Chains A and B, each alone.
Chain A
Amino acid sequence: MERNLSDGSNAFGLEPFPRMGERAVVLRAEGLTKRYAAVARSNSTKGAGASVPAELELFSELDLTVHAGEMVAIVGESGAGKSSLLHLLAALDRPSGGEVWYGEERLSGMSERQASEFRNRRVGYVWQFHYLLPEFTAVENVAMPLLARGMGRKAALEQGCLWLERVGLAGREEHRSGELSGGEQQRVSLARALVTEPEVLLADEPTGDLDGRTAEAVFGLIQKLHLNHGLTSVLVTHNLEFAERCDRMLRLREGKLIDTRAS
């Protein structure tokens, strides 16, 4: 059942989508725990007297299973730990306990290098803010993950142009982030997340910074790309309307993920 989908079958959406239960599990979190020391890096300065350092536990023993082709929305109050969860799923941070699986691969078993490689090939990440690199043009920003893995400049920029076109920004290749509107910047960052043809898209409030209409357009684009490229997506959003339009909506509250429609 836990078949590791190859990039190719995913990207071209050749995989037939059977009923939920039979689909391959792409992403699985087991017993995931994240704790922060309340006062960062203060443990060492405390004496032996302070035996129990104050800790902030965001969630513990959290389980999550995402199947191929699914689009999952995660909602929750501010500070619930949604971003932290997404960081763990993207191997941007290490959990205090538990495990994240991508197919048969364990994130915690990866070295720093392997984690970088994983981020470069297996997932695309989009933030609330676009985080484009201001010194580079739109197409260079999009092509950056390909350049980073050593792809030739020409080929990488070609891919970048292609993806700019896919997010509706043909002709804006040479513009810098300062010359683009908020919605356009977010489209560029979406193109950058997907240029590597990952199997999983992780997006942390991708429309959070945008006004209603622009947000709608960007969300629509994500949905379209999700379908066209056979992606498996996990979206954090505050917009319940968008969340409703996803395959599943999970609420993170008091360290638990609750499937809102199951209840």
Chain B
Amino acid sequence: MRFELFIAIRYLRAKRRQAVVGVITAISVIGVAAGVASLIIALAITNGMRRDLQERLVGSTAHVELMRVAGDGIRDWRPLLARLRKTPHVTAAAPGLYGQVLISRGARSGGGLIKGVIPGDERTVGDLLQGVSVGSADGLEPVVSETIQRSKHEAAGAVTARKGRSAAEEQQVSELGDLDVRQDPAVQAEADAQAARVLAAVHPVPPIVIGKDLAETLGASVGDTLLVTSPQGDLTPMGLVPKYQRFRLEGIFKSGFYQYDSSYAFLRLADAQRLFNEPDLISVISFKVDDLYHADRVGKVLEEAAGKGFQTTNWMEQNRELFRALKLEQVVTFIVLALIVCVAALNILIALTMMVMEKTRDIAVLMSFGVTAAQVRRVFLFQGLLISVIGTVLGTIVGYGLSWAGGHYRFPLDAAVYSIDYLPFAPKVLDAVIVAAVSLGVSLVATLYPSGSAAKVLPAEALRYE
């Protein structure tokens, strides 16, 4: 081995009798380096994109959602919520009531998915409400809420004044807030009901927060009144009449996901229940878990804990298509860029073939004093591998360096087009290992033919025509 390496290294370093062999050798090294570097950079970007997307997606949505198999809604949800919150690995839980509606403003209208929420809880399981960019989501706070909320109201008299609350009403609100509602679900239900009544009196037009794209569809801006029409109408002597109600647009959120921004609308839970004629009923309980890759497992546990008739979905299931598409994209990127490595390997093949031709006589001389065919084969195998190793190492360094620099000096992107304002780089060690292995493997294949033909040199023949 040492002998073969000795010869191979010397052959690589030596000045060529045919300059073109040296040039092709240099091109091979550069080619391998370029292929490896671009593979590493491209994989770092696709990883970064995926990680970014996943972070935002997972941030926006719950990790696990629990619902009834029959879709009849969860009654008596407070004890269940309190119990499931204590499940191991669950970090947060929030009730929600979903319903399909038509939202319209004047002549314009769009379909929407209402989610009735308790903002304090909802914020612990999803980022959508934090993403309110115009107006605010404060209006969604239930009248009876935590002490913090109350003190906020007290402190910000100006805010409440703007919302048109009188001092008397404020008094009422604070009284209600004094109840420690978290302790006893029954008390809380009672309190909520009461709060709703108070609210209806205080706030004749309840608040709504919708997504940016939906707002654009409707041409709505904060302060506008929207008409929400629910198909679950009232049964009247004249048949089923769709129920509709006015809401005041308090805030517009933007998550960067069209799916949410174009259809989601948040109401207070109590308002949603009234709209859908479902007093004190929710449709889902959303959970956050401590390890998102174990969401499915926690989901199973929650299903069992909830009892018969319940099922869960998790973020992986809900976004399976998306992640499959991303994976496919990464594979395609890899294959396309691996072609660069193949071209580089072709260079190695050419360089080595020419080298073998140039060295035929020397090979014969080596064989004449006892160098075996296997040794000759290895000399050229090592040469090819040396080219490939040098190129791969160079490429890895350059690729990693550029990925690092790209992550460090944020490469700006047009946020309107890409939904992120910089190019994310997330180089992974495993990727580099795979890329290096592919590069070396492909080069090894390219080395087989020339080294094989070197081993086939017949000394007597090769030295005859000199």
Residues in A lying within 8 Å of B, measured CB to CB: 83-84, 87, 90, 92-93, 112-113, 116-121, 124-125, 127, 129, 131, 133-136, 144-145, 147-150, 153, 192-193, 196
Which residue in B361, B368, B373 is a CB contact (below 8 Å) of A125? B368
Contact residues in B for A125 (Cβ distance below 8 Å)? 368-369
Which of B3-11, B62-70, B126-134 lines the interface with chain A? B3-11
Cα(A124)–Cα(B370), bound, Å: 10
Determine which residue in B365, B373, B375 has the highest number of CB atoms from chain A within 10 A of its CB, and name it: B365
- Please tell me if the beta carbons of B369 and A144 are within 8 angstroms of each other in the complex: yes
Any chain A CB within 8 A of the CB of B362?
A: yes
- List of A residues within 8 angstroms of B194 by Cβ: none
With both chains docked as a complex, state the minimum distance between the C-beta of A198 and any C-beta of chain B, in angstroms.
Answer: 10
Verify if B408 is at the interface (C-beta below 8 Å from A). no
Contact between B362 and A145, CB atoms less than 8 A apart: no
Q: Per a CB cutoff under 8 Å, which of B362, B367, B460 touches A116?
A: B367
Q: Which residues of A contact B464 (CB under 8 A)?
A: 83
Which residues of chain B are within 8 angstroms of A147 by Cβ–Cβ distance? 3, 6
Given A87-B460, A144-B369, A148-B375, CB of A135 within 8 Å of CB of B10: yes
Q: B463: which A residues are within 8 A, CB to CB?
A: 127, 131
A148 and B362 contacting across the interface, CB-CB below 8 Å = no
From A84, A127, A148, give the contact of B370 (CB < 8 A). A148
| Interface bits B453-464 vs A (CB < 8 Å: 1, else 0) | 000001110011
Chain A CB within 8 A of B371 CB: yes
Q: Are B3 and A116 in contact (CB under 8 A)?
A: no
Q: Which of B419-466 contact A (CB under 8 A)?
A: 458-460, 463-464, 466
- The answer on a CB contact under 8 Å between A148 and B368 is no
Instruction: Decide if B366 is an interface residue (CB 8 Å cutoff).
Output: yes
What B residues does A193 contact at CB under 8 A?
Answer: 369
* A92 adjacent to B368 (CB under 8 Å): yes
Confirm or deny: B235 has a beta carbon within 8 angstroms of a beta carbon on chain A: no
The answer to whether B168 has its CB under 8 Å from any CB of chain A is no
Q: Give min CB distance, B430 to chain A, whole Å.
A: 38
- Which residues from chain A contact B369 at a C-beta distance below 8 Å? 119-120, 124-125, 144-145, 148, 192-193, 196
Assess the A112–B372 pair: CB atoms within 8 A. yes
CA distance A135 to B372 in the complex (A): 20
6 A-B residue pairs with CB within 8 Å? A93-B459, A131-B463, A133-B362, A148-B366, A150-B2, A196-B369
Q: CA A113 – CA B17 in complex, angstroms?
A: 31
A131 to B, closest residue via Cβ: B365
By beta carbon, the residue of chain A nearest B17 is A134
Contact of B370 with A121 in the complex, beta carbons under 8 Å? yes
Q: A119 with B375: in contact, given A129-B466, A133-B362, A148-B3 (CB under 8 Å)?
A: no
User: B107 at interface (Cβ–Cβ under 8 A)?
Assistant: no
Q: Indicate if the CB atoms of B373 and A112 lie closer than 8 Å.
A: yes
| New contact pairs (5) apart from A83-B464, A124-B369, A148-B370, CB-CB < 8 Å | A116-B371, A120-B369, A125-B368, A125-B369, A136-B10
Residue of A nearest to B464 (CB): A83
A218 to B349, CA, bound (A): 42
A149 to B362 alpha-carbon distance, docked (Å)? 17
| A149 x B370 contact (CB < 8 A) | yes
B375 CB contacts on chain A under 8 angstroms: 148
Question: How far apart are the CA atoms of A118 and B371 in the complex, in Å?
Answer: 10
**Hey, which chain A residues are within 8 Å of B155, CB to CB?**
none
> Complex: how many Å from CA A145 to CA B367?
10
Minimum CB–CB distance from B417 to chain A (whole Å) comes to 56
B156 interfacial contact with A, CB 8 Å? no
Q: CA separation between A144 and B375, bound complex, in Å?
A: 13
Query: CA–CA, A147 to B366, complex, Å?
Result: 11
Q: Once bound together, how far apart are the Cα atoms of A113 and B373, in whole Å?
A: 8
In angstroms, Cα B366 to Cα A136, docked, is: 13
Asked if B415 is at the interface of the complex by the 8 Å CB criterion, the answer is: no
